[in-house]
Structure 1
Amino acid sequence: MKKYFFITLFLMNIYYPSELYSALTWKIFGNLNEPRQYFGAIPINNTEILIIGGYDNTSGSGKSLSTCEIINLDSGYTTYTQSMNETRFCFVTLITKDSNIIVLSGTKNPSGSVLTSSCELFNTKTRKWSIIGYLIEPRFQFSADFINDHEIIIVGGRQEGNDILDEVEIFDISTGISRQVNNFIYRSGDNVSGYTSNNKFIVFGGRDGGPNSYRSEVIYTYNIANDAWDIFDVFNNQTLFPSALKLSDQRLVISGGSFSESPNNNSRDIYIENNGGISLAGIMFYPRHWHNMAQWNSDSVLIIGGFDSNVNNIFECEWFNTQTRITSRGPILNYGRSMFKVVSLPSKQNINFRRILAIGGKDSNSRSIESIEILEPEISSYPPIITQSSSDCDNFYFTVSDSNLINKVELTGFKNNNVKVSTIESLPASVVHVVVSLIDKKQNGYFTVTCTSSKTGLSVELSDTIFSKIYFLKLISPIKNGTIDIGDTINDSVKCVDVELKNDGYQDIIIDSARLVKNYEFYIPSGQLPITIPKGQRGTLRICFESSVIGTFNDSLILKDDCDSLIFPVVGRCIVNKPPYSSDGRLDCENFYFTVTDPNFIDRIELTGFNQNVTITIIETLPDSVVHVVVSLIDRKKTGFFEVTCYSNKTGLSDRIMGKIDGKSSVLKVLTPLDSGVIIVGITDSGVLKCIKVLIHNTDSEEFVLDYARLDTNIEFSIPQAQLPLTIPPGDTAELVICYLPSSLEEQSDTLTLGDLCDTLRIPVIAQGDTAFYSGKGRCGTLLNGKTLTPGSMIKVGYPVPNPGSNEVSIIVSGSNGLPGRCYLIDLRGELIQEAEKVNSVSGTDEDEKKSIEYNINLNNVSTGVYFIIVETIEGKRIFPYFVMK
């Protein structure tokens, strides 16, 4: 991916570090009693330095040292102190919380064939050494650091025979016992470790073998809680054993290292911790390896010695300003040296500076040297100092300090564009936090800020460019819990997914670099790059996964956007060849249903073996990874037997499903009261509710629960629902109550429906209404109760005909005589609602011919309710209940 911005800070015209420190020179402090390289050097206090072990090859075949010396800066002498219990070099030296000194493991000879696993402690009060424990794996050229006040994590290195390790162990200084933890990401010797300003333990800069072997650009951090290694950040290049320094503000500075050894090619890069990551901050004049760094004051680091790409020791030193990111020429060593030690101690002459000692090492002929050089401050007046710079996409932040007070912070020069400057503190102040911000966030900004102290007349200038947020790259899919999930595949099979990316920025993005950290099981097919994604649009990047080993595998996809690195975890699973898997089997009266799945696809499903009275249906089109299958009876009254086999051509494996489907669909039988297949309720007086018990027989060998019993019309006939569900034991009977309330004097019918096992049982129900009751008053006002018989055979009254969607009811009365009469509508209280209108009358020509009269009742003004239509003729009265619904 193209990187569209890079922060470059520089001082202009006023005070360069080379001018400020031009008078500084390295001076010979003295000599060690024994020449040494690959040794340890740790300050005991502000005036004494302990020199530990190492390797001396100035005579004979060389020797590993156990001797120790103390450099006294006050007296100017170097004297022997107690030796270690074992000789060692290429070991790690650490300081405990109570200021004692620990050495870990190491080698006893240059070939690495004899190692020591012992760990020794130097008591700074008694000046005595003691063995406190042993590592599980003796090693040299490794890294180590405290993870708490009593445990040390040891990472990688070389074991006996020079084989590279990826093993990691944690040594407890209080018990002397070491325990193994999760291995490092790859085999790593000559690696470097340290803590970031936010207390993350990081490891980087190792290689997995000899010259030109694999080395990684990835910086890893150890998650103690999960015992896991995570990606912290990425260098621009793969580098071996760079030099690392922890600043007084707790940030890390990292420089140099080796790209390759045959031919030798060293790095000039300088990285610094910023905004929670490690970013490229500057370039050295010389490519360096096996060099050192020391902090000089709050904003300056001195890069010292090492050898160049021609394996020649470097005499020249360089200044690197951690705030302005400027590299400038530094003082020259009296002796070019590499594989040496540097110690930085407080200066007595000026509390704002340090004094630096370069001790021992080896010369260009690879011989151990004994000389000690010292660099001390010789100046005392300075301009304001810029510290603690940081940036985001829209702002640049820095802090400027001066004990003589900062009186003015302003934009100066002629190149200020689209920026504004502000200070957090009110001026004057000794420490001022400055913010330079973009005015229009969609355009670049250029600035020069000058900070001036009126008391000294000195000032410092800071110039830079703030690039606008020109794009923002976002991962859309396939993402699951923040991880690109490739999914499952079988061993030795390739599975690819298209990773969808969206450009949420203001201009097009050209992705010309996309890579995976490990690039083993996962890979990015060639030919995809560059990928152009227009603003607001989406693009895809294909990632593939293949493994011959069963398990879950992880990698990380690294992309860059305008403000930070985009690192997305990638996961894929390689699964063993498994046969198709059937599930979700269920049965109804005529069918058996099941689902069969296989990520390698189902290619064929068929009836095999013994099959009887069944057929098979496949819902999906084959091949498919998920297939729904239905096995059905051919003859519903007979039992079916089946055997279904599902095949996957890719794996050659299959799954077989067998079973039977019982053919019975009905188990219920109505016994009484039954006459010619009809339930007979009998004759009932009008207005009287009559209930009968229907005896139902369960012919099955299992208990049956009747929960569905319905009548089609459900007006005159009804089923009390409180009796349901009705449980009928196997082979036994139960009673179902049906009730009848007649609405006419004629035979009435309905149909009973019972929910059977797999079918419905329907039986007609009939009953007879006997009489219709009415009341009235006699001629003298006496209340009379009586009942009418069915009108004589000579007169027939038709049922009221409701006309859906109409507001009229028609009633036709026909007969051979006695037709003149009356038709009217009353309510439940017997109140007259409406007299029917006679709309049609037909008379026969013969006395025996039938006559008919049609009555209409208009329901426009009749509300919803229950009513009765009364038809009176000479022969009697007919009463019809009628329901009005609006």
Structure 2
Amino acid sequence: MKKYILYIILLFFTFKILYPELKWEVFGYLNQPRTWNHSFPISDSTFLVIGGCNLGNSEIFSSTEIVNIKNGIITNGPSMNNPRIWFNAHLTQDSNIIVIGGLTKFDHVMTKEIELFDRTTMEWKVIGEMLFPRAQFASTFINPEEIIIVGGRDPSYASIGDSEIFNIRSGKSRSIAQFPMTFANGTVNVNSYGNILAYGGREGGTNGNRTNTVYRYDTLNNKWVIHDYLSQPIQNITTLKLIDGRIINVGGCLFESPLQHSPVVELEQENFFRPICNINFQRQWHSLSQLNNDSIIVVGGYGDNGESILDCEIINIRDNTVRIGPQLNFQHDAADILNMINQKGEKKTFVIGGKNQLSSQSIGTIEVLEVQCYINDVSINSDNYDTLCIGYPIHLSADRDYKYYKWSNGSNNKSITINEEGLFCLEVIDSLGCKGYAEKRIYTYTQNKIFDIIDSIKDNILFFDSCHYPDLLFKTIKIKNKTDIVRILNDIRLFHNISFSIPQSQFPIIFQPYETKDILVSYSPKIIGKEYDTLLIIDTCTKIEIYLKGLSINNFYLGNSRCNVQIDLTTISLHMIYKVYPIPAEDYLYLYILSNHQLTNNTIISVYDILGNQKYIDYTIESNILDFEIKEKLYLTKIKVNIQSLANGTFFILINSNNYITTSFFNKE
């Protein structure tokens, strides 16, 4: 019985370690209650709260507030040029802030201006305009310089399907294909496959037409095409791009009358959305934040009864489950959420502003959730396993990209270069604020070769006797493990790996201490003539090179037919241009001909231009060398061709010797 009690206690504490208690705390209060605001970090310790409105007095803000998370002080920041709600905001690649469009007054006044907040100057400036004013539209960066803008409402509050792409560098916007439907309160995202997807909007009005169709923007043909379907028609869907680039969709509004929301969670899986689970509280106007690689927290919003939801929920995308999370202290519908992470790995999630759905009053409360998460699969990569070769540095690097790095030698880079052995430790923090740790011990290599060739291979050349084209020939080399421990040879490399090859079924080859084994090498000619390659065995700090040399000769058949007629067949005699030099040529061209007969002065060399016109040239046979002889003689002939009379261009050259013809081409400059 005691054993089972101890097991239950151990299980409880294990659960507490893996899922530490989360609790929302009131951090402070904005100077102005705000709804439909946006927030972005502007340093490790401060974030900027932008725009929004006070539903109590219908004031729309151009003002901003700077929140210092270290001392809790909240101050007024620089104001935008325009007041804005129902606008969109994005972080640029250099961490500046872009705000786009929105409603400036509640009597249907909208702006088309686009502003940029520069973190270095702490100033706003107008950088361009949309093609026309709009609010409640969808937008996202599609590359570091361009933002796609889709649908929304025009100043008459009518839903629109107009789409455009704005360039933040030029400040210009260009119209693109009309969206297939009028589209407000929707979303547009770039998924992990790089596809631009728009979905989850409606045409307008109570219970206005909405669709479950996911459209993809075809950038090459400038058109919207059907890409996928959601599980149900919906609007005001809340989406989040995860750290791995995938998109998750949670909740949203099915109908306004009677009010009905969706509980469905859909996750991008292999380029398409698939339902994975349901949240417990159906809601819209909620926020999402990724806690760690597996968990997403659902915050705020309101449900089918029109009341704000204080209970948060945590979605686990690894096992597709949902559990109740920490409870908010205040209502936060239409609020903003962001993560603040510093170089120490201290992560805080803030929910900012919003409204109470029943009272329709804006709130200025900021709540904070301190989150701890860990990465358990961090590793250190090395360009030479764990061995430092004397006189050669070794490079260590983190296994993937993180936000922060801290090596035991003090470096904050992703990779380091070392020249001495020792234990090297790495601490990392990813963009979610999760911490990870890895270590790697590096040893100095002081031994001689691990492997050695014990064959008596002359001059390190393995020669394959003449092989009939296109037969297959095998040879072996003997390799010995020179150490007193078991060694594994996982691969042998070839520089070209075309005619020569190493059968991969041999690997891995396990060598016992001091054991010798045969390694098979094959040769299958691709041309008639000589062929070369280099075999490379990588040792820990050394390498073994063996030069491979092969000769492919004519194949033949001698026998009788069914009618007892003697048949004597052979492949065409060897006669090929082995090398043309130089390319391009100027005054003289040198040809090297490999042949099984000597070339004589009866050899005819003809040159033609690309139109087929023959050009007359002079040439001389400078040498006729017996290259090597195995089963037949091979001659390597050098011919000097005078091309001074030719104009610049491309030419074809034809060599006819004893009715054996071969061709090539060359360029003259």
Q: TM bucket by the smaller chain?
A: 0.5 to 0.7
- Give the paired residue count: 372
User: Alignment partner for residue 313 of structure 1, among 304, 308, 314?
Assistant: 308
User: What amino acid does structure 2 have at the position aligned with 1:266?
Assistant: H
Q: Which residue of 1 aligns with 2:351?
A: 358
Deviation of 1:146 after TM superposition, in Å, equals 1.7
Q: How far apart in 2 are the matches of 1:258 and 1:358? A: 21
Q: How far apart in 2 are the matches of 1:17 and 1:253? A: 26
User: Alignment partner for residue 261 of structure 1, among 256, 264, 267?
Assistant: 256
Q: How far apart in 2 are the matches of 1:371 and 1:190? A: 25
- Runs (5+) with no aligned partner, structure 1: 1-12, 386-429, 431-886
Check the 8 A contact 2:142/2:190 in 1, yes or no: no
1:16–1:116 distance in 2 versus 1, CA, 3 Å: farther
Pairing of 1:356-395 with structure 2 (within 5 A): 356-364=349-357, 365-377=359-371
1:339-382 CA-to-partner distances (Å, cap 9, x unmatched) read 0000022267756xx421000001131111000000003x6789
Pairing of 1:381-780 with structure 2 (within 5 A): none
Q: How far apart in 1 are the matches of 2:255 and 2:105? A: 25
Q: TM-score, normalised by structure 1?
A: 0.40
User: Alignment partner for residue 25 of structure 1, among 23, 26, 31?
Assistant: 23
1:812-871 CA-to-partner distances (Å, cap 9, x unmatched) read xxxxxxxxxxxxxxxxxxxxxxxxxxxxxxxxxxxxxxxxxxxxxxxxxxxxxxxxxxxx
Check the 8 A contact 1:266/1:288 in 2, yes or no: yes
Q: Which residue of 1 aligns with 2:95?
A: 99
1:200 equivalent to 2:198? Answer no
1:200–1:46 distance in 2 versus 1, CA, 3 Å: farther
1:316–1:227 distance in 2 versus 1, CA, 3 Å: same
Q: Which residue of 2 aligns with 1:441?
A: none
User: Alignment partner for residue 169 of structure 1, among 138, 158, 164?
Assistant: 164
User: Alignment partner for residue 274 of structure 1, among 269, 276, 279?
Assistant: 269
Q: Which residue of 2 aligns with 1:344?
A: 339
Q: Which residue of 2 aligns with 1:39?
A: 37
User: What amino acid does structure 2 have at the position aligned with 1:83?
Assistant: S
Check the 8 A contact 2:291/2:373 in 1, yes or no: no
Deviation of 1:17 after TM superposition, in Å, equals 7.2
Q: Which residue of 2 aligns with 1:69?
A: 65
Deviation of 1:338 after TM superposition, in Å, equals 0.4
Q: How far apart in 1 are the matches of 2:192 and 2:211? A: 23
Check the 8 A contact 2:292/2:373 in 1, yes or no: no
User: What amino acid does structure 1 have at the position aligned with 2:33?
Assistant: P
1:275–1:18 distance in 2 versus 1, CA, 3 Å: farther
1:114–1:279 distance in 2 versus 1, CA, 3 Å: same
The runs of at least 4 consecutive aligned structure 1 residues that moved more than 4 Å come to 13-20, 347-351, 379-385
Q: How far apart in 1 are the matches of 2:189 and 2:129? A: 22
Q: CA RMSD in A?
A: 2.7
Q: Which residue of 2 aligns with 1:513?
A: none
Q: Which residue of 2 aligns with 1:217?
A: 212
User: What amino acid does structure 1 have at the position aligned with 2:101?
Assistant: S
Deviation of 1:71 after TM superposition, in Å, equals 1.4
Check the 8 A contact 2:238/2:288 in 1, yes or no: yes
User: What amino acid does structure 2 have at the position aligned with 1:206?
Assistant: G
Q: How far apart in 2 are the matches of 1:16 and 1:260? A: 43
Partner secondary structure for residue 131 of structure 1: strand
1:293 equivalent to 2:288? Answer yes
Q: Which residue of 2 aligns with 1:81?
A: 77
1:32-77 CA-to-partner distances (Å, cap 9, x unmatched) read 1111111111222332211111111233xx1111001111212222
1:144-181 CA-to-partner distances (Å, cap 9, x unmatched) read 11222222111000001110000001112222222211
Q: How far apart in 2 are the matches of 1:146 and 1:208? A: 24
User: What amino acid does structure 2 have at the position aligned with 1:36?
Assistant: R
Q: How far apart in 2 are the matches of 1:233 and 1:15? A: 43
Partner secondary structure for residue 139 of structure 1: coil
Q: How far apart in 2 are the matches of 1:97 and 1:320? A: 29
User: Alignment partner for residue 252 of structure 1, among 242, 247, 253?
Assistant: 247
User: What amino acid does structure 2 have at the position aligned with 1:54?
Assistant: G
Q: Which residue of 1 aligns with 2:56?
A: 58
User: What amino acid does structure 2 have at the position aligned with 1:43?
Assistant: P
Deviation of 1:260 after TM superposition, in Å, equals 0.3
1:25–1:162 distance in 2 versus 1, CA, 3 Å: same
Q: How far apart in 2 are the matches of 1:268 and 1:384? A: 33
Q: How far apart in 2 are the matches of 1:287 and 1:42? A: 28
User: Alignment partner for residue 190 of structure 1, among 185, 199, 213?
Assistant: 185
Where relative contact order (Cα < 8 A, 6+ residues apart) is larger, the structure is 2
Partner secondary structure for residue 76 of structure 1: coil
User: What amino acid does structure 2 have at the position aligned with 1:263?
Assistant: P
Check the 8 A contact 2:201/2:210 in 1, yes or no: yes
Q: TM-score, normalised by structure 2?
A: 0.53
User: What amino acid does structure 1 have at the position aligned with 2:91?
Assistant: I
Q: Which residue of 2 aligns with 1:49?
A: 47
Check the 8 A contact 2:40/2:48 in 1, yes or no: yes
1:291–1:279 distance in 2 versus 1, CA, 3 Å: same
Deviation of 1:231 after TM superposition, in Å, equals 1.9
Q: Which residue of 1 aligns with 2:105?
A: 109
Q: How far apart in 2 are the matches of 1:348 and 1:71? A: 19
1:383–1:249 distance in 2 versus 1, CA, 3 Å: closer
Q: How far apart in 1 are the matches of 2:85 and 2:187? A: 17
1:593-615 CA-to-partner distances (Å, cap 9, x unmatched) read xxxxxxxxxxxxxxxxxxxxxxx
Computing the radius of gyration over CA atoms, which structure comes out larger, 1 or 2?
1
Q: How far apart in 2 are the matches of 1:123 and 1:381? A: 33
